[in-house]
Structure 1
């Protein structure tokens, strides 16, 4: 075998030598180019910091202060006194308990109803598109408009739909003594919960319907061919698949319901034991003018929301990882 000529050898070795002499820094992108690409995002970043972070830092600082506009001479550093008051004062502790009870009740019932509606809409039937649009509509209504609708069109004891239906039903049986309860005064918490459940059930339904439509159809068909009943398919296939979506819907619903203010303010004005933390922040700031205490309550609401949002983000990331596999 003859050896290659010197010219061929030089042509072969030249690219290899050039590749060895090239350092990693020369192949990496220049820092100036990276900053040139990131520079257009700096105004948006600065705007977000100014709009979101600076007000929160100011609220956090004020929460450690003794600051009441009705007593301007008694202003100063209070330490953790506002937070101790939040957890020891009976009225403030009641608002915290009301927030937890209201959130758990609304999220739990909305999840169950949303799951049932999602299972219904997952089937093919005539007019499914129209039904889906009608079921989504409550979630698209402005929260204040939704609360006003329930307060006047449904709960009103004189002309509301609920009491009017009871009166009509009693007259069918020849009686004029139909019960006419005042729902907002006799069952205030239930009235607020019902309006929020009506508003948030479509949200749960949309998330769970997306989970149902992501199921592998061949697995379900194979189970039915093997003789599995509808309950067995739901218990052993559908429900385990929906577990992540149920967690996501519950966490996101909790974040929003914890911060709810419109329904409580519009329906009951925080009376009769329905005042939650957001409404208490409003009354403490605008009625009692206690800026330090109101800031402490606002920080507690933000911390609770961040804790729930952290779990929600983890659930979303796990869903994305499962979809990418």
Structure 2
């Protein structure tokens, strides 16, 4: 041992031999505290893993095999052949395109209508609470009930309300779900999801401070100028969140397609969830339907991750400003 090893530290105190030991104790205590906080969440975590991740791993396993429920003895490992078959499956491409069209059409129209309704409900008038309750009602109706309502009560070619309305101006009855299947599905989805967009955007409008709007009004800014330069930038986070959540939910649409058009005529209105259902439960092709499910999940994760990064970027830029 040299004199440097026993020399007092700057400030007159000798180095403590318990320093590393005390740090280890502190690290152990912090880890114990972390586990103590996580422990109540472990049952929920285990439940989520069992209900989501294990089935997804099994789906990946089935997607690598040729498995048909009508020929269980012919099950073999085929690797990526099911995924390669999807590349030349024209029906799969049609279903993917329909999923994109239905999602974009529903989300964009619902967003615009929800923004307009949110702006109206942000104003004070007699009966606002009652009107807001009525506007929320479509979102509270079960998708199956909503699909039956539009298929029978609204779009029925003989007794539907829509044909009765257009008949009052001399237009011939239209079989909406057969002649315009995609439009019929989008209208039913817009009716259901507009209240969801309205609630999110209304929350954003009500979080806006009135001082900024009063200052703009005192400066002589027009209503449209105030909306474009003050209100819309404030609503950017809520608009992006509405688009993200709406797209995640709408891309999984099944009830409206199954009950209104059954994917028809032919496969003209089938989206990816409905086509996966057809291949799995009508065609009994578990291998290829599992491959389609994996591709759909991966594509949804990629889009959701990109959208979440945009949202977090806007949040960080807003906090820094």
Give the TM-score of the pair, scaled to structure 1. Answer: 0.85
2: CA distance, partners of 1:34 / 1:164: 64
CA distances 1:184-208 after superposition (whole Å, capped 9, x unpaired): 1111111011000111111111111
Residue aligning to 1:25: 24
2:8 corresponds to which residue?
Answer: none
- Cα 1:38–1:111, aligned 2, differ >3 Å: closer, same or farther? closer
1:288 alignment counterpart: 283
Number of residue pairs aligned between Structure 1 and Structure 2: 304
What's the counterpart of residue 305 of structure 2?
310
Question: Which structure 2 residue ranges, 5 or more long, are not aligned?
Answer: 1-12
Structure 1 SS opposite 2:157 = coil
The whole-number CA distance in structure 2 between the counterparts of 1:34 and 1:106 is 43
Partner of 2:140 in structure 1? 140
C-alpha separation in 1, matches of 2:205 and 2:299: 30
1:141-174 CA distance string (max 9 Å, x none): 100100000001101112111112233x24xxxx
Note closer, same or farther for the CA distance 1:34–1:249 as it changes in structure 2 (3 Å cut): closer
Q: Flag the 1:33–1:253 CA change in 2: closer, same or farther, 3 A.
A: closer
Q: Which sections of structure 1, spanning at least 5 residues, go unmatched?
A: 1-15, 171-176
Q: Is the 8 A contact 1:106 1:197 kept in 2?
A: yes
Deviations 1:97-139 (A, max 9, x none): 1111111111111111111111111111111111111111111
The corresponding residue for 1:68 is 68
Q: Distance in 2 between matches of 1:108 and 1:208?
A: 14
What is the aligned partner in structure 2 of residue 185 from structure 1? Answer: 178
In the alignment, does 2:274 pair up with 1:275? no
The alignment's C-alpha RMSD in Å is: 2.5
- Give, in angstroms, the shift of residue 311 of structure 1: 3.8
Q: For residues 231-285 of structure 1, what are the alpha-carbon distances to aligned partners after superposition, in whole Å with 9 as ceiling and x for unaligned?
A: 1001111111112211111111110111110110010011120000000010000
- Give the Cα separation in 2 of the matches to 1:182 and 1:129: 37
Question: How far apart, CA to CA, are the structure 1 residues paired with 2:281 and 2:147?
Answer: 22
Work out which of the residue numbers 193, 203, 220 in structure 1 matches 2:196: 203
TM-score normalised by length of structure 2: 0.86
What is the rounded CA distance, in whole Å, between the counterparts of 1:237 and 1:54 in structure 2? 47
1:1-325 maps to which residues of 2 (within 5 A)? 23-28=22-27, 30=29, 31=31, 34-167=34-167, 169-170=168-169, 178-272=171-265, 273-314=268-309, 317=312, 322=318
